Amino acid sequence: MADAAVRSWKAGSLQYSRRGLVSLFSWLLWGDFTLFIMARAVPPVFQLLLKKFEASNTLVAFLTGSLPAIIGLTIVPIVSYQSDRHRGKRGRRIPYLLFFTPVAMLALVGLAFSPGLGAGLHALLGRHSPGLNPSILLCLGVGYGVYQMAMAVVAAALFHALINDVVPRELLGRFYGLFRAFGLLAAMIFFYWGFGQADVYFRAILIGAGLLYGSGFTIMCFKVKEGAVHAPGALAPAAGGFLRAARVYLRDGFRRPYYLLIFLAINLTWLAFFPANLFNLYFAQSVGLSLGAFGRISALTSLISFGLSYGLGSLADRFHPLRMHLVILFLYALAVGWGSLFARTATTFAIAFIAHEVLSGMWMTATASVTQRLFPQAKFAQYVSAMGIFAAGLTMVISPPIGGMLDRGYSYRSTYGVSCGFAVLALATSAWLYRKFRQYGGPDHYAAPE
């Protein structure tokens, strides 16, 4: 009993007692909860606004797919590279998180008032205006672009880099299980009680999500402490100007075929989820589901995933997230393949949608720590952002053709067929990756190649 009472955990130079670990997890999970509320609320509300003001499927695909990818391609690598090498009294991640958090909050306030701003722009331009709806869509696009810039830096790169720096590695799977559980709790709250009225109360939802995130995430940043980054093997501070930094970034991030294979396997999996995710709301409406019914079904999928989350995180710690990735991806390919053939009514759509959401959620939970386990820790944010460049390129290429396919008369059910095709490609690539992973030591003795 005495040994259990004094047990401690380490993450770099940080050492935690049981009480300290509970405090760390609590603040990180609170930050994640506020982030997830915003991340879950904004995209579907934005999609509703786009359709309300008569955006085409091609424009929807560009604004919700290609535009975030372009932002991720340009902003995230720079911030990630600088963050890995930053030296400051608040650490190397938190200063950047504190800067971009209010940017996202203010962008959401601007997005909430975009219809009024667009109407004002239309009146100001007079006969030179492209029209009322195009003016509103322009303001929506600008607001969403600024929001995505902040979100790409915070959610896609630096928050997970902070977790990688402060959470003990042997607990990453279980932490991410809790991480997903809190995020899913946020999703249940929004979809069950808020989404049915999103087309009416979109302004209140956007402002409320922004204020909750801005205040909650800022508090988390002041409560979580980063460790020292002066240990042997730590990166030197960035120096030598932009061109030298770009050369170092490209050399480190893209010279090893093994890491390129990781990028490809993970990003093809994300691409498998993307077509179905992009148009699920419109698919639901096309088979007669109301916003309220779609919200309740979405809440149900979150409830199922919530029940599975901690168990999946524990399994990832025990069996390794890369093994979990292969199993869940195989099941996902079967599910969306079925949906592409049989989801023709509200009932069959609901079955396909629940399978898609639960299995993709299982994958996100079980593999949440896979990059922490495969990439070198010192350059973690840099490698994650390099993987994001791969994702951005693939997303920019695939988004407009999917929207154009739907504008040419294909049913929304065809998006599940596209998802199935990418899932099969991801599965083949992942099997190849697993063979290489075993050559570097496998689940028990893996060492990330430098």
CATH of the domain at 145: 1.20.1250.20
- The three-point CA angle 385-388-390 to 5° equals 125
In a domain? residue 338: yes
In a domain? residue 210: yes
Total domain count for the chain?
A: 1
Query: Minimal CA–CA distance to 5: which of 20, 24, 18, 22?
Result: 18
Q: Is the pLDDT of residue 236 over 70?
A: no
Per the model's pLDDT, the better-predicted residue between 187 and 288 turns out to be: 288
Query: Helix H segments across 228-345?
Result: 241-254, 257-286, 291-319, 321-342
pLDDT tier at 1 (50, 70, 90 boundaries)? very low
Q: Is the pLDDT of residue 448 over 60?
A: yes
The amino acid occupying position 432 is W
Q: How far is CA 44 from CA 16, 124, 194, 216, 395, in A?
A: 39, 30, 11, 22, 19
In a domain? residue 6: no
Tokens representing 340 are: 């592409």
Please state, as a whole number, how many other Cβ atoms lie within 10 Å of the Cβ of residue 123. 11
pLDDT of residue 342: 94
Tokens representing 336 are: 């969306």
Tell me the mean pLDDT in the region 211-230.
86
Lowest mean pLDDT among 85-99, 176-190, 362-376: 176-190
- Domain containing 52: what range? 16-225+240-445
Using CA atoms in the order 21, 27, 28, 32, what is the torsion angle rounded to 10 degrees? 150
In a domain? residue 1: no
In a domain? residue 163: yes
d(CA 395, CA 47): 18
pLDDT of residue 233: 46
Q: How far is CA 202 from CA 114, 115, 208, 240, in A?
A: 11, 11, 10, 46
* Dihedral sign for Cα atoms in the order 360, 365, 366, 369: positive
d(CA 400, CA 57): 9
Tokens representing 23 are: 């405090």
Per the model's pLDDT, the better-predicted residue between 336 and 149 turns out to be: 336
The average confidence (pLDDT) of the chain is: 85
d(CA 359, CA 364): 9
Most confident of 92-101, 198-207, 246-255, 430-439: 430-439
pLDDT of residue 244: 61
pLDDT tier at 217 (50, 70, 90 boundaries)? very high
pLDDT of residue 243: 55
Q: Is the pLDDT of residue 235 over 70?
A: no
Q: Is the pLDDT of residue 2 over 50?
A: no
Query: Minimal CA–CA distance to 366: which of 311, 435, 291?
Result: 311
d(CA 53, CA 34): 29
pLDDT tier at 253 (50, 70, 90 boundaries)? low
**Residue 9 pairs with which residues in a beta bridge?**
16
Is the model's pTM score more than 0.75? no
In a domain? residue 9: no
Most confident of 87-91, 115-119, 224-228: 115-119
Q: Is the pLDDT of residue 404 over 80?
A: yes
Tell me the mean pLDDT in the region 278-290.
90
Lowest mean pLDDT among 70-79, 295-304, 359-368, 403-412: 70-79
Most confident of 184-193, 221-230, 282-291, 373-382: 282-291
Which are the contacts of 426, defined by CB distance < 8 A and separation ≥ 6?
265, 268, 269, 271, 272, 329
Query: Minimal CA–CA distance to 321: which of 275, 397, 382, 265?
Result: 265
Q: For 187-203, how does the pLDDT look when each residue is reduced to its tens digit (9 = 90+)?
A: 778 777 777 777 788 99
In a domain? residue 232: no
In a domain? residue 144: yes
Please state, as a whole number, how many other Cβ atoms lie within 10 Å of the Cβ of residue 83. 25
Q: Is the pLDDT of residue 357 over 90?
A: yes
**Is 231:87 a contact under the CB 8 Å cutoff?**
no
State CA 180 to chain mean position distance: 12
Q: For 161-175, how does the pLDDT look when each residue is reduced to its tens digit (9 = 90+)?
A: 888 889 888 888 788
Per the model's pLDDT, the better-predicted residue between 450 and 2 turns out to be: 450
